[in-house]
Amino acid sequence: ATKIVILLLSWLAFAALLTGQVELGLAGLLPGYLAGFAGTLGTVAIAMLLADVRAARWLIQLGQASMAIYVMHTIVSAGTRVLVSVTDLPLEPAPVVFLSTLSGILVPYLAYSLAQRLGMARWLGIGGFARDETRPSSRRQIDSAGRV
């Protein structure tokens, strides 16, 4: 219940900034920072609420692939736009942006998943640095005498 109250209050303060209820400029600098802080708290509260939801596991997986997505999204999105332009389909900008965004997330995620399965993610610099709490540990336990 506390998480929900923090979430609602912080997002209300953030919404006040967005709707212009908080004056921007030098006189409104402190309220602007407070509203930004409130929005950040709201985002953290959402993350805390979703951490307990089993259906949000896909967000955890996307977060683990975030380095791969960050590194590869630009080239994949640009490639998608080029492919769409080569097909000469009379597409409006909105579907092209949607396809570029979707491919810019899914293709790097699939590349990350493949690299993880092949054991190359760390070598490629796109993952394997943080401890993955969702899988059983693959590290061998060594006791104080050095035995496995």
Q: What is the pLDDT of residues 4-40, one digit of tens each?
A: 776 777 767 666 666 555 555 555 556 666 777 777 8
Distances (CA, A) of 42 to 8, 31, 47, 54, 78: 7, 16, 9, 20, 33
Average per-residue pLDDT for the chain: 76
pLDDT of 105: 94
**In sequence order, what are the residues at sequence separation of 6 or more whose Cβ sits closer than 8 angstroms to the Cβ of residue 80?**
99, 100, 103, 104
- Residue 112 pLDDT more than 70? yes
Going by C-alpha positions, the residue among 55, 41, 57, 59 that lies closest to residue 5 is: 41
**122 neighbors 132 (Cβ within 8 angstroms):** no
Query: How far apart (Å, rounded) are the C-alpha atoms in residues 125 and 8?
Result: 38
Name 34's Cβ contacts closer than 8 Å, sequence gap at least 6.
Answer: 13
Predicted TM-score of the model (pTM): 0.58
- Residue that wins the pLDDT comparison between 100 and 19: 100
